[in-house]
Amino acid sequence: MTKLNELLFNHWKTREFRPKQLEICSSILAKQDTLALLPTGGGKSLCYQLPSLLFEGSTLVISPLIALMQDQVAQANAKGIKSMAFNATQSIDKQLDNAAFGKYKLLYCSPEKVQNPLFLARLTQLNICCIAVDEAHCISQWGNDFRPAFRKIKTLRKQIPEIPIIALTASATSAVLKDIKTQLELKAPKVFRTSFARKNIALKVENSEDKYGEILRTLNLTPTPTIIYCSSRRETEQINQLLNSNGINATYFHGGLNSNQKQDKLLAWQSERVQVMAATNAFGMGIDKGNVGLIIHLTPPASLEHYYQEIGRAGRNGEKAKAIVFFGAGDEQRLTQQYLGQLPTVEFIQKCYKSLCNFLEIGHGEGLAQEWRLSFQDFCHTYKLAPKKVDACLSLLDQGSIFHRINTNKQNASCRIICSPTQFKLELEKAPRSHSIVLQLIGRVYAGIFEHEVNLDLDLIARKSKLPFGTLIDVLEHYKQQELLVFNYATTDIHLIGITARDDKRTLRELLRNTQLIHNAKKEKLARMLAFVRAENLCKQKDLLTYFGEEITESCGQCSAKECRSIKGSIPLESITAQIMDNIERKPLATHELKLSLPHLSVEELAEGLEWLLKQKKIKRNAFAQITKV
C-alpha cells in the first residue's frame, strides 16, 4: 500500500484516505468487479483515478454528463493525471487516434459514444485496463435519471472480457443496487458502502406560509455561505432581488445564463463576495465549497435522491450545518403539477419528435452523428408546443439515446463593418472609451471584417475588453443603429447531437415502451418525498437512511422531528425561548450579546430559539439590529 499512499500525496496532496477509498482501490487493482456506494463529497472519482496510475494502459470512464466530464478531465490533468474526453467537436476517428497513441490514463466518454460502431471496432487498440461507470444509478429504471444507453455498456465485455468494472453512485436504493449488478453483469462484485448519515447536518422541515420572511430571518441569524434551491428560473431572480434589497449579498444561477454570466456568479459566490446563491438544480454538480453552512429548499425537490445530493453540498468541512426544506399549504398540488403534470404523453412525444425533425430539416434515414444548434423558444413558438412539456420531452429523447442534449445558451453573432476605413478611424477617435475598445478589438482580431461578414466570438471579446457582456451587446447594437456596421445576434439554448437516424416507425419504439415505467417511477419518488416532509414525528435522518436501505435505531437528536426534540440531554425549546425573553427584559441585546449572556446555549440552540420567537412575533429587531420584545 506504500505506492498508493505515495501517489495519493503526490497527486491529491493528502496523506489520508477517506472511508473505503483504500479498500476500493485495492479491489480494482486486484481486477475484481467492484460496486462503490459513496455519498456526495465522499471522493468517488479518486477510486478509479488513483488505480489508473498503476495500470499499464487506460481506464475508460463512462459518464452521462458532458459538463461533469469536462470538469473531471480538467481536474485530473491539473493533478498530473493525463486525461481526455471524447466529444462532439472533432471526428471520432481523430479522437480514437489520439486516445490510442496519447498515453492517456483516463478516457472519458458518454454511454452513447461507446456504442459507436467505429469506437467498438477500435476498442482493442486503446489498451483499456479498467472500466469505470460513473453515476451508475442511471442504469436502473427505478433510479434517478434513468438512461437506457447505460444498459448497453455490458456489450463492451464481449470484446474485453477480462477487464474489471467499477460502478459508482452516490444515491441508490437496494432495488437500484440490485439492478446495477444485473444490468452490468458484474461478476461476484465486491460491494463497498459508507453510511449515508450526514451527522453534522441538522435536517429541518418548516411549515410556513411566509417562506420569504422565514428565509430573511434565518439568513440574518446564520451569516454563512448558503445555497437556496428554487423551482424555477424566475424564482431564483425574485429571491436574489429580495435578499439584495434587504442588505444580504446574493446572486442567482440557472440554465438560461450564458457561460460568462455563470462563471462570474460562481466566482462571486465561491470567493464570498456574495453570501447566498439562489439557484435551480442546474447548480451544484462538481461544486466543492467546504464551508457551506446552510442549504434551503423553497419547495421539496422531486425525489429523496435529489434532496440527499443537494443537502450534501453543505458541511463538507465537517463543521455543523443546516438544511431547511419549506413545505406549505398548496405545495403538494403545485409539486404534483410541476413534476408530474408536465410529463409528456406518448402522443406528445411522437408529435414533438416529428416536429423537431422537421424544424431541424432531418430527413428519413438522416441524423446519425449530426449536430444542430436549437433555439428552444423559437421551436416551441413555431409549433405552438407547451415549453415545459417540450423540455421534459427533450430530456426523454436524451435518456432514450435519440438525441444527446447539451444546454449551452450559445451566442451566435456575426458582424461586418460597412463604413470606410477612414470613417471607422474617425469614429474611433470620438467614441467613448468602452466603445473604442470594442471597435479596436473587432477591427484587429477579425482582419476581413471590412470585406465580408464574420462570425464573432462574443465571449472572447468580452474577456479581452473586460466589459460586462450586456455592455458589449449594447455597444454593437448602438453602431448598428448608426449604420457603421451590420450586427446579427441570436441565442441558441441547446446543442443537439443525433444518436439515432430518423425512422418515424422504429426510432421511438423502445422509448415509448419505457415511458410509462419512467412516469410510474417518478410518481413513486415524489410520493416518498412528500411523505418525508409530512412526517412530523419521525427522525428525518433516520427516515432518509431507511430509504437508502440503511437501518439505524438511534435518532439524530438535531432535526425538526418531535422525537428528536425530546431526546435526553438537549435543551427544550420552551426553556431556550424563556431564557431569551428573560435576558431582553431589561434592555435590547444584539445577537452576539445574547450569546455572551447565555454561554451554555450552542449557536444552533440560540438560533433555533430566536427563529421561533420571531416567527411567533414575540420579538423583533430594532433599528440598531438588536433583539427586543414586541
Alpha-carbon separation of residue 529 from 356, 479, 535, 603 (angstroms): 34, 54, 10, 29
- Those residues whose C-beta lies under 8 Å from the C-beta of residue 550, and which sit 6 or more positions away, are 195, 196, 197
Calculate ∠ Cα 91-97-102, nearest 5°. Answer: 125
3-state SS assignment for residue 201: strand
What confidence tens digit (pLDDT) does each residue in 49-76 have?
999 999 999 999 998 877 678 778 888 9
- CA dist., res. 325 & res. 214, Å (int): 11
- In the 8-state DSSP scheme, what is residue 537? S
pLDDT, residue 492, reads: 67
Q: Are 141 and 518 in contact (CB under 8 A)?
A: yes
pLDDT range class, residue 80, cuts 50, 70, 90: very high
Matching fold, domains 2-193 and 196-329: yes
pLDDT, residue 81, reads: 93
pLDDT, residue 51, reads: 95
- CA dist., res. 308 & res. 283, Å (int): 15
- CA dist., res. 432 & res. 440, Å (int): 12
pLDDT, residue 566, reads: 59
Q: Where are the alpha helices (DSSP H) in 188-231?
A: 211-221
pLDDT, residue 144, reads: 61
What are the domain boundaries of the chain? 2-193, 196-329, 336-409+495-524, 419-483, 571-630
Say whether pLDDT at 192 is over 70: yes
CATH match for 571-630 among 1.10.10.10, 2.60.40.10, 3.40.50.10490, 3.40.50.1980: 1.10.10.10
* Topology at the third CATH level for domain 196-329: Rossmann fold (3.40.50)
Lookup result for grid cell 461476484: 188
In this prediction, residues 247-256 reach a mean pLDDT of 90
Average predicted confidence (pLDDT) for the chain? 86
Say whether pLDDT at 134 is over 70: yes
Alpha-carbon separation of residue 406 from 64, 91, 266, 362, 604 (angstroms): 11, 18, 20, 19, 42
Query: In the structure grid, which three cell numbers stand for residue 34, read together?
Result: 467492484
Question: Among residues 138, 142, 200, which one has the least CA distance to residue 170?
Answer: 138
Say whether pLDDT at 413 is over 70: yes
pLDDT range class, residue 458, cuts 50, 70, 90: confident
- Minimum mean pLDDT among 195-204, 214-223, 489-498: which range? 489-498
Q: Are 339 and 218 in contact (CB under 8 A)?
A: no
pLDDT range class, residue 105, cuts 50, 70, 90: very high
Question: Among residues 309, 302, 304, which one has the least CA distance to residue 336?
Answer: 302
- CA dist., res. 32 & res. 26, Å (int): 9
Alpha-carbon separation of residue 321 from 75, 291, 297, 404 (angstroms): 27, 9, 14, 37
CATH match for 2-193 among 3.40.50.300, 3.40.1400.10, 3.40.50.1110, 3.40.50.460: 3.40.50.300
Q: Are 268 and 248 in contact (CB under 8 A)?
A: no
- Those residues whose C-beta lies under 8 Å from the C-beta of residue 263, and which sit 6 or more positions away, are none
Per the DSSP assignment, residues forming a β-bridge with 601 are none
Query: In the structure grid, which three cell numbers stand for residue 210, read together?
Result: 411566509
CATH code at 336-409+495-524: 1.10.10
What confidence tens digit (pLDDT) does each residue in 467-500 have?
877 788 888 988 988 888 888 876 667 888 888 8
Say whether pLDDT at 568 is over 80: no
Q: Where are the alpha helices (DSSP H) in 30-139?
A: 46-52, 66-78, 92-101, 117-121
- Those residues whose C-beta lies under 8 Å from the C-beta of residue 133, and which sit 6 or more positions away, are 62, 139, 150, 153, 165, 166, 167, 168, 184
pLDDT, residue 409, reads: 61
Query: In the structure grid, which three cell numbers stand for residue 84, read together?
Result: 481526455
Say whether pLDDT at 386 is over 80: yes
If you write DSSP's letter for every residue of 221-248 in order, what string do you get?
H--S-EEEE-SSHHHHHHHHHHHHHTT-
Q: Where are the beta strands (DSSP E) in 289-350?
A: 294-297, 321-326
What confidence tens digit (pLDDT) does each residue in 2-11 have?
789 999 999 9
Higher per-residue pLDDT: 616 or 242: 242
